[in-house]
Amino acid sequence: MTDQALEVTSGVDTHGETHHAAVIDRIGRHLADREFPATGSGYRQLLAWIGSFGTVTAVGVEGTGAYGAELARTLRRAGLKVVEVDRPDRKTRRMKGKSDPIDAYAAAEAVVSGRATGTPKTRDGIVEAVRTLRVVRRSAVKSRTQAVNQARQLLVTAPERLRAQFRGLPVAALAKACARLRPGADLADPEQAAKAALRRLGRRVLALTEEIDGLEAELTALTTQAASELLALKGVGSDVAGQLLATAGDNPGRLNSEAAFAHLCGVAPIPASSGRRDRHRLNRGGDRAANHALHTIVLSRMRWDERTRAYVERRTTEGLAKKDIMRCLKRHVAREVYRVLMRSIRTTDTSHDTTQSDLTEAA
């Protein structure tokens, strides 16, 4: 019979079609491992299976932002503690090998040893909606840029009679002019083929522009609803705010300090001291998209904000290089953004509690 007083920890190696789970006890002994389908019924089977070994203290899941996203939500709804686990490094894999059971046991061991402590994003609120729409917007912007570049490249080699019609036109006017072209029936003629190609590219650019404008309106409304105070900061637009929200997640409380948020955004200096030499180096890790968002804020403030410009002048007089000044400013902006995010989540929690109490009184 199963000893229900036994405390166990599980680890899951996630994949697109299957998940491999393993269970260990609190001193690291391997108990069992098993593969489950990555479906709703498979998640329920996995949950029941790991619970059959005793009291589950935590579940370490690889890929909570990808293949393990729905599994993490299922485990969290069941009341289990979910810990985000990074895949083993190359040195560990060279020494111990690579297989699904090995990775599952490694995930469980990382939780028991304390190496893995990260709280995954819940991915069940308005911020997840913002992230989803941003994926589509980003691909639309890239496609539009590609189409514009292709049109300009075709015009470089097109006949002069065709090139003269578009010389000096900005992007919007170029797209409209290309969309109005009327190629002849003989596409064996290079000029007519160029007209046909440019017309298709022009129509593509116009369609993508309309799509991007619609997404911009939707994202602005969502980011305003999620964190209107964030949009009120200098240098923060809907695109930057959306990226910072997506980086923090629907539960930014998982970041226990502003230093943790700065490290997540890659703006916390990394110690690189040795002997009597005390120094720090640039942090090249973290979420690079969030780092770029902070960089955008700093660039905007360096141009338009008087306090920031005064700070840059003072630090330049002290002999600090521009790139070092920008690192300092990005660290300051990360601190400011974190405080706004924490206030926003507290406001959301308060409104949620108020709504629940109102519903209880009405009942």
Q: DSSP letters of 231-263? A: HTSTT--HHHHHHHHHHH-S-GGGS-SHHHHHH
Q: Coil, strand or helix: which one is 122? A: coil
Domain ranges of the chain: 7-113, 126-226, 238-362
* Alpha carbon distance 174, 170 (integer Å): 6
Per-residue pLDDT tens listing for the chain (363 residues): 455 568 999 999 999 999 999 999 988 999 999 999 999 999 999 999 999 999 999 999 999 999 999 999 999 999 999 999 987 766 667 777 788 999 999 999 999 999 998 899 999 899 999 999 999 999 999 999 999 999 999 999 998 888 999 998 999 999 999 999 999 888 898 899 999 999 999 999 999 999 999 999 999 999 999 999 999 999 999 999 999 999 999 888 888 899 999 999 999 888 878 877 777 777 888 899 999 999 999 999 999 999 999 999 999 999 988 988 999 999 999 999 999 988 876 665 544 444 444 433 433
Q: Coil, strand or helix: which one is 37? A: strand
> Which residues lie closer than 8 Å to 331 by C-beta, 6 or more apart?
262, 267, 268, 269
Question: 7-113 falls under which CATH superfamily?
Answer: ATPase, nucleotide binding domain (3.30.420.40)
Which of 193, 194, 191, 201 lies closest to 148, judged by CA?
201
Q: Nearest 5°: CA angle at 37, between 127 and 116? A: 55
Q: 55 near 8, Cβ under 8 Å?
A: yes
What is each CA distance from 86 to 47, 64, 107, in whole angstroms?
Answer: 21, 10, 8
Q: Nearest 5°: CA angle at 196, between 194 and 200? A: 115
φ/ψ of 62, rounded to 5, equals -80, 140
* Alpha carbon distance 168, 63 (integer Å): 48
